Structure 1
Amino acid sequence: MLKSEIAPKLLPFLTTAKSLTKKLENLSKKPLTVKVLSQKSRLLTLTEKKMCQLPLHRPILVWERKVLLFGDNPPSQMLEHQTSNQNAWIEATSLFPYNSLLGKNKRLKHLKNTPIGYILFKKNKELPFKRQFIILPHHISRQTVYQLNHKPIIIEEIFLPAFLDFLLQNH
């Protein structure tokens, strides 16, 4: 169960309208490390189409990118016996409908180990968005639909136990 004392400390990270990447880097005092878990094409679910206000009656192909974000203890600095993912702060899934990957947005398919926040919030801008929160016994996540150059993209960020522990101990 999430500890009640974490809520006030986590709220600024959950609700920021600006770059979560920048906020996490300010907290850890160093750049985030990104570990790409998977990148693939798949179809949007009905729920995801509704979130993006896209047509429900036809299949929509997206580029899905799943990553782990590490703040204070990236995988390369861990001891050999540690599970390489246990110190991840955030598990993020980005969904880019292929019709959103046109023009300036096509670089989103080639992020590699770059945090998406570097691209989305370049020049400190704020983007139009809709957001919902999901609270489960062991984590909290946020799902955000951003409008990037008038095209929808979905980003889900799960705040993992290592981040919540770091917040309790250091913030």
Structure 2
Amino acid sequence: MGVKRKGVLELVSGWAAIELLFQCVYIGLWQLLHLAARRLWKGHRRKLSNNNPPVELTVDSSIGIHCYIKIMGVKYHYVETGPRTGQVILILGDAPDTGNLWVPSWSSVVRRLAENGYHVITLDLRGSGGSESGDRRDLSPPRAVEELAGLLKAVGVSEGCPAIVIGFGIGGLLTW
């Protein structure tokens, strides 16, 4: 087991190793500075747009029916699409930044799933979009998973009729 081409792995020592270390530190500091500047700029834009309503995960109302459900004392907002007799697909987005879910590509994915007979539910996670936030201590993953299990039970998911759960960002953590 070894490298067949020369020059792929190269022994680096002495001054070349120190130069590589400085390059890595420089690039890392540059990326941190760039990230900090972007976050500051996003915060500045957010402060300027206080009059605008928050971006919801489910902005596109042509996708389906907007619904609300109260689970364990928290009101959740979700959108149902597709036939109720189809297998349930629950889509969980990223709670802090949900504005990109309903770009045309996601809308077309949800429409295609509904056209293929799936019952698609896109959920605004706690504290995002049209869902309530509640207390900070109630935002723990075990509590959120318990609430999502209640939602799935309420829409008819059981052992005999399982659901497909798709998540990304915090929704991916809860899906896992």
Note whether the superposition's TM-score is higher than 0.5: no
Higher helix fraction (1 or 2): 2
Bigger radius of gyration: 2
TM-score by length of 2: 0.23
TM-score by length of 1: 0.24
Higher strand fraction (1 or 2): 1
